[in-house]
Structure formats: structure tokens, C-alpha cells
Chain A
Amino acid sequence: MPTLSEAASRRIMEDAGVAVSPWETATDVKSAQEAAATLGLPVVAKLCGDAIAHKTERGLVRLGLSSQDQVGAAAADLLAAARPEDGEVELLISAMVGGKRELIAGLVRDEQFGPCVMLGLGGILAEAVADVAFRLAPLDRCDALDLIDNLGAQALLGEFRGEPAVDREALADTLLALSRIAGDPKVLSVDLNPLIVVDGQPVAVDALVETT
């Protein structure tokens, strides 16, 4: 199934009301540096295109670029890493947002239960911990809040290492946005991974939409 580029995926998320990290697109070194200047350093640079679903595995994500020289070098590298089969590509420059906690959220279509909204613990231990829960779309606000309550690691959602508690209403808004997107039959799946908790607010720093 075709995937959309991160830029296209982010637009769909923003339209649905999901908070995503501030971002710009660029086509060359110069426009990448202009974008970085607009967003403020440090930034993240990624190569993005409809045919690129797994950026990290291919080394197409450069984190923590803290000078315009680094932005320029990363932009040049990433453009050079494009392969013919990637088709049309562009650079995506986004603000580097900080938070100690990572969640994942998404939308899947189950063969028996249809569209389901997913919420889980993110980060490098996510797979081993496997703290993930689902609800069937459409969700109402009660369902969304109950989905949050359903996670095992509730302590991670409270105040954590100097960071405020996760804003459950804001997180519920994200889940409700995913639920609304489920109403579009062309959207097969959505992956917001990670959803970083920034000052208690969930912010998607990557988005991948799969369509029919």
C-alpha cells in the first residue's frame, strides 16, 4: 500500500488537529538553511518522499543540527543519498523539540474490528515493554480518556523527572483526531512515532500515513 511522504502526512495530521513539531520543507541547501533560521536552531533534517517509509533505517534522519554549517552539510548529504527509486524527494526541516517521554499513537484497520486507534509507550524500549492499547473508532472523549488510562505505565504519564504530567485532555484530542481521520476510508493507517511529551503536551515529530 502506498505511503505518503512525511510532509504530506504532517499536513493531514495538522488539518485533523494533531499537534506536530514546527516544520518547513526545502529543496536545496540554501532553502534548508533558511528554514532552519525561521524555525530556530537546533533543527532536524530528513529526506522525505512518498516512496520513503523507513527514513531511520536508511540513515535519512539527522538530529540536533545546531549550526547553519551543520544544517547545510546535512542537507547536501541527504540530497545525495536519494536513490532513483525514491522518486520525487524534498528536505523536511523541523524544530528539535525536547521531552523525556515518548509515546506512539496511530490508526490501524483490523480485519475483524475495522478502524482502531492505538496508543502506546514509545522510545527504544517500546517493543520490549509492549505497553499498547486500542479502541475502536469512532471514539468519544470518554473512550479516549479510558484508552489513556488503559496504559500500564501510568507513572510515566504523571509528573516525571521535573516535567509536568501529561495533559490527558490534549492527548485525548490527538486520539480523537486519529478517530476522525479513520472516517476517511482512503486512509489505511497512521503512525505517529514518536509522539514526544513536550512540557506535558503531546507533539508528533514524525508522521506516516498509508493510503489505499
Chain B
Amino acid sequence: MTRDLTPLFEPRGVVVTGVSSHPGKFGFVALHNILSCDFPGHVFAVGREEGEVLGHPVLASIGDLPEGGADLLVLCTPVSANEEIVRVAATRGIRAVFCAAGGYSEAGPEGAEAEARLVALADELDLVLAGPNGQGVVSTPAGLCAQIVAPYPPPGRIGVASQSGNFVSAFLNYAGQTGIGISRAVSAGNAAATSVADYLEWYADDNETDVALCYLEGLPDGRAFYERVRDVTRRMPVVVVKGGTTAGGQLAAASHTGSLATDDRIFDGMARQAGLVRAATIESAFETAATFATQPMPSGNRVVVLSTAGGWGVVTADAVTLHPDLALTPLPDDLLADIDRMLPPRWSRNNPVDLAGGETRDTIPELLHLTAAHPEVDAIIQLGIGIQGNTAALTRSGPFHPDHGLERIVDFHERQERRYAEAAAAASDAHDKPVLVASELAVARPDNPMVTAVRESGRLCYASADRAVTALGHLVRYAGCRRDRS
């Protein structure tokens, strides 16, 4: 049965312990972050210093917490204090505990005993216990940033659960960079009572979350994880990136989370069998989750590559062809004939569709719609837009602008770039098919009007065609598995 994590992710009030006036301490940082990120509920601070921190009154003891004032407790106090705090907090209506404090099982046998006692106590009091030794919990629908690190991400549909707190931050940083936002994020820490599988199960039922993104190092009970996530992936895509796939990495993981090594090929087989989407790198994991969060599910593997010029189309055709889950589909005759009417004869006349510079003002939006509408096309990768906007940027910053007719041409190019990006999203929405836009300008010139407009459309502008192909491959494979299973 799914563990109810509502008080952790949707608390009505939060209390932080270990709050002091020292801005470097966890308690201070956690309080600061909660107060700074628009949490609408009550916030309480408990600490040993009398007075105020950040203009917020400090309670001398958890016993001073008003009854029912908070349902989430964020522990930034030492191991020795926490059991008593939890016991008293429960009498004041606390229902979930995020234990940011370290010094538990990661610190040796004594810490392990304290951790076991904390787990037993949470069980006895029927509390959700996250951590210990975790960086915190973030929930954008609740305006909650209860973590000892940054950032607070933009809101979105990705739910993060990670065995490493720093990768939570990494995913949230990518969310900030790309604009593809986060619903919930949690650092599982030592996962003493609440494991990644618990978070995934709750995310699957969560109306705010469409896709889960998780970093795993080790799975002490891999079999149970498999049995549980197999059911989760039927309801929601789960993107996984695994650390410790080599002997060197496994040694590092053993000292990091105490995780036992397993043969990576067994993990990989388990992942495929469980319907998990396994990404090779952290950045690919984020981009894959972002793709699930922002693109429609494809009904097949037939990809058409649209490009304004040759080279991009060629390498992308290679990448699609080499991908085991994607097919570079031959251009259907009727689509070819339609495109033929729009372009001068030098266009490529096959897939990739290379306009060879033959486009006029409306070609790209029309082509996107025609292609997306075709029943024998399942997904589109659009390349080579943003160039005119890039030229316009140089023109705009040069010494001749706005004279010599430059203002008009710059404005035209910038408008066109926005139009192309909007057309890609519109074609995708209208025909319910993935349309991925890729350009190095996504990272090289994020202020490019095409890149900005892709972002404003709520989609990811992929930093390269290869990265778009990788993400699309995961989307197609997952969609296929889901069809096979149903």
C-alpha cells in the first residue's frame, strides 16, 4: 500500500529545530529558505538563543509549539536531541519529520543504533520519517523549500527522489536553467524509513506530478524495489540514473551510502523489465524527464527530421538510424508531394527534410504542421532554427544598427524565430505528437529569440540533436512498453 506522504509534501505548517543566528548553520539556512520561498503556512523556529532570527520569533523548546500549528518537522538538531524532540512534536500534531541532521548510520555503529531508534519511534507515533542525513524537501505546489541547500526550482511536473542530495540540487539547477519545472523533490538521505520506492509510489498518485526522476546508488532490497516500481511505471514514467556502475564507482558508493555493489548488468536488466527509463548521465536523465513532462506520448517510432540546412540533418539522420528504438521513416509519397509544392527543386526530397535554404516566410510553420499531421509520422526533430536570430544579435550589437535598414531586418528575423518556435509547439499540441527543437544556441545563446520562445512554450530546447534523439528514444521506448503491457 502506498505510504501517505502528504504531510511531508503538503504541510500546512512547518517547524525547524536547531535554529540559531549563525547564518552558516543548517537550522538558519533551512528557516531562511522556507521563509524566502513563499510558503503560505505557519513557520516556527526552535532554538537555544532567545529573541528573533530573520525577524522570526524563536521558540525555546518544541514544547512551545502551538497544538496543530505545524505538521512538518525539519530536524537540524544533533542526534542526541532528536528523539525527545520528535516525541514532543508528535503531541503537538506533527505528522511528518524531515531529518536533515547527520550523525546516523552513515557515521558508524552508534549512529546506526540511533537511527534504528528514530525509525522505531516514528513507527510508534505513526509519523512519516524522511532522511536522516538528507538535504531536504521541496514542493512547489505547496511553496515549500525546506532544504539546507539551493535552489528553489520553478514549478512543474517532475518529481525528484534521490539517494544523493547534491543530485537533487543538480536536477533543480537544470530546472532553473531550462524552465522545465519541478513538482516535488526530496533527498532520501539514509532512507531509514522512507525509501525511493515510497516516494515513487506517492508521486504516481500525485496529481501534481507526471514523471519521476531519480538517482540511485544502491538498493539494499533490490527485489522489493523491483516489485514495487514495476507497478509504478505502469502509471507514470520513472527516469533513473544509477551511480556505481563500475568497480571504482561501486567502491565510492559503498563509502557514500553504504550501498552494496551489484552487477550493473543485473541492474540494467531489472530496469528494463520493470519499465524504468534508464538514462546514462545526470544531464540526460533530466532532459529525458523534461521530455516526458513536456511532450506528448508518441504512438510509434517513426521519426522525421526537419532541417533548414544539410549538416544538421545528416548527423541527426545518423543518430536516429543508430538508435535501436527509433526509425528514420521514409518520407511518405503524399507528404513529399506536398512539400515539393512549397520548395524550390533543390530540397532533399527525403528524410531528413533539408530545405537547403529554400524556405520563404511561412515554410517552416507550414512544414511543421503538414509533417505532424501525417499519420505515418510519430515524432519530429526540428533543427536549424535560431540562425537568423543569431545573425540578428550580431547585427543589433554592431555599430551600424539601427541604420542602413538594419532595424527592420533584425526585427523581422527575431519575430520569425519566435514564430518557428511557437509553430513547433503548436504543431505538437495540434497533432498530439512530440516535436523536439534542438540547437546549440540553447546553451550558447539562451537569449536567442527562438530559444526564449521554445522555453516560453513550456518545452525544452535541446542543446544538440544527439541529446534530442536520446531523449526521444527513451520516450518512444517507454510508450512502446506501455502499449505492450496493456
A-side interface residues toward B, CB under 8 Å? 110-114, 116, 132-136, 139, 142-143, 146-147, 150
Minimum-distance CB pairs A-B, first 10: A112-B222, A134-B269, A113-B222, A114-B223, A134-B266, A135-B269, A112-B262, A135-B273, A110-B266, A136-B270
Q: Are A146 and B262 in contact (CB under 8 A)?
A: no
Residue in B260, B265, B273 whose beta carbon sits within 8 Å of that of A136 in the complex: B273
Q: Residue B220 at the A interface, CB < 8 A?
A: yes
Q: Are A134 and B263 in contact (CB under 8 A)?
A: yes
Given contacts A111-B260, A146-B272, A150-B272, are A134 and B223 in contact (CB under 8 A)? no
Q: Residue B333 at the A interface, CB < 8 A?
A: no
CA distance in complex: A110, B269 (Å)? 12
- Among residues 430 to 447 in chain B, which have CB atoms less than 8 Å away from a CB atom of chain A? none
Given contacts A111-B262, A134-B263, A136-B226, are A116 and B269 in contact (CB under 8 A)? yes
Residue in A110, A112, A146, A147 whose beta carbon sits within 8 Å of that of B220 in the complex: A112
Q: Are B269 and A133 in contact (CB under 8 A)?
A: yes
CA distance in complex: A135, B269 (Å)? 5
Q: Are B223 and A133 in contact (CB under 8 A)?
A: no
Known: A113-B266, A116-B269. 20 other contacts (CB 8 A): A110-B266, A111-B260, A111-B262, A112-B220, A112-B222, A112-B223, A112-B260, A112-B262, A113-B270, A116-B266, A134-B263, A134-B265, A134-B268, A134-B269, A135-B269, A135-B273, A142-B484, A143-B273, A146-B272, A150-B269
**A114: which B residues are within 8 A, CB to CB?**
222-223
**B265: which A residues are within 8 A, CB to CB?**
132-134
Number of B residues whose C-beta is below 8 Å from A? 19
Task: Give min CB distance, B124 to chain A, whole Å.
Answer: 29
**A146: which B residues are within 8 A, CB to CB?**
272-273
Chain A proximity mask over B188-223: 1 for CB below 8 Å, otherwise 0: 000000000000000000000000000000111111
Which residue of A has the minimal Cβ distance to B222? Answer: A112
CA distance in complex: A112, B262 (Å)? 7
Which residue of B has the minimal Cβ distance to A146? Answer: B272
Of B219, B268, B269, chain A has the most CB atoms within 10 Å of the CB of: B269
Q: Are B269 and A147 in contact (CB under 8 A)?
A: yes
Which residue of B has the minimal Cβ distance to A114? Answer: B223
Q: Are B269 and A136 in contact (CB under 8 A)?
A: yes
CA distance in complex: A142, B272 (Å)? 11
CA distance in complex: A136, B266 (Å)? 8
Q: Are B219 and A112 in contact (CB under 8 A)?
A: yes
**A139: which B residues are within 8 A, CB to CB?**
273
**A136: which B residues are within 8 A, CB to CB?**
223, 226, 269-270, 273
Which residue of A has the minimal Cβ distance to B263? Answer: A110
Q: Are B222 and A110 in contact (CB under 8 A)?
A: yes
Task: Give min CB distance, B254 to chain A, whole Å.
Answer: 13
Which residue of B has the minimal Cβ distance to A113? Answer: B222
Residue in A110, A132, A133, A147 whose beta carbon sits within 8 Å of that of B262 in the complex: A110
CA distance in complex: A112, B218 (Å)? 9
Q: Are A113 and B273 in contact (CB under 8 A)?
A: no
Of B226, B263, B267, chain A has the most CB atoms within 10 Å of the CB of: B263
